[in-house]
Amino acid sequence: MNGALGIHLAVSEGRVSPAITSATAVPVATMMIDRAPEEVAALMPRLFNLCGVAQGLAARLALGLPHEGGGDLGREILRDHLAKLCLHWPHLLGLAPAPLPEGWSAGGAPLVTAIWGGARPTHAADWLASGRGVAPVLAALAASFAPGEAVAQVPALTAPLSVTAQENSPAGRSADDPLMAQIARDFGRGPLWRAFGRLVDLARMAEAPPQAELIAAGTALVPAARGTYALTAHQKDGRVTAFARVTPTDHLTAPGGALEQSLARLPAAKLSLARLVVDILDPCVPVEIAEVSHA
């Protein structure tokens, strides 16, 4: 229910200067205040169909409601990751889409084996060249961006309730993985690093269900396909009295954030790849990339 995120790309002397206009946000807090907690928890996934299970769970956890039956968070994350790796990115890269692995929703070892095309590799470069699992998609990304192109260096997510530039993404969640360290070393934290982070996160989530947490009274953190949602809510006498949330897109689109940095470090000669860069970054609102102006 948010408006479109506006991106205007100006080119001058071979450099790209992005100007980002945030989407008009739904006045969520205003809509939730004075409602019954159960009503608020039911409304969240209806208002936000992207990562709806995660957002509904965050509301339930923050408001102290039972969260069983609110949807399968693990399945939602697996589905969204697989859709990127098997459908969306192949299309944007000119590759044939692939069906989602059989029985994917059950997760577990069969899904992990399917995405890697066998055992988990120890060397990222060898796997990219292997043609196994989803390697052809990631290899096409590696061929599309030279090392250092469309990279972003933002701080790790340490203040989830603060709307500042932070690495709130599946890649950030997986940054400690040895394969991710190899990709960062060889290519930088660009599109391949971010896409590889989805893959590593997918494998982790397939093997261990994602865990939401209550970090303080009324404050919940819930992992989702795009990163981690933070939600604060309080109630009194059966009515919600305070409500606020911060999303991965808030951190992504903050001044100096990963979206701005990535587009600013995309070579002007590769401006046609801007939509792919944005799709990999994956804001949870529609995006309008404005006509390029040459200054």
Q: Per residue in 228-267, pLDDT tens?
A: 999 999 999 999 999 999 999 999 999 999 999 999 999 9
**84 has a pLDDT exceeding 70:** yes
User: Which pLDDT band holds residue 49 (cuts at 50, 70, 90)?
Assistant: confident
Among 8-17, 33-42, 210-219, the minimum mean pLDDT is found in 8-17
Within 48-149, residue ranges assigned H as helices are 52-62, 73-83, 89-92, 108-116, 124-128, 135-144
How many whole angstroms separate alpha carbon 160 and alpha carbon 170? 14
pLDDT at 1: 44
**111 has a pLDDT exceeding 50:** yes
pLDDT at 68: 72
For 21, counting Cβ atoms within 10 Å of its Cβ (0-12 exposed, 13-18 middle, 19+ buried), the class is middle
Contacts of 46 (CB under 8 A, 6+ apart): 52
Tokens 């290899």 correspond to what residue? 139
DSSP conformation class of 213:
E
Q: Are 40 and 63 in contact (CB under 8 A)?
A: yes
CA 35 to chain centre: 30
If phi > 0 it is left, if psi is from -120 to 50 it is alpha, else beta; for residue 113 that is alpha
For 87, counting Cβ atoms within 10 Å of its Cβ (0-12 exposed, 13-18 middle, 19+ buried), the class is middle
Average pLDDT, the chain: 94
Distances (CA, A) of 84 to 40, 202, 237, 249: 30, 11, 43, 17
pTM score, two decimals?
0.94
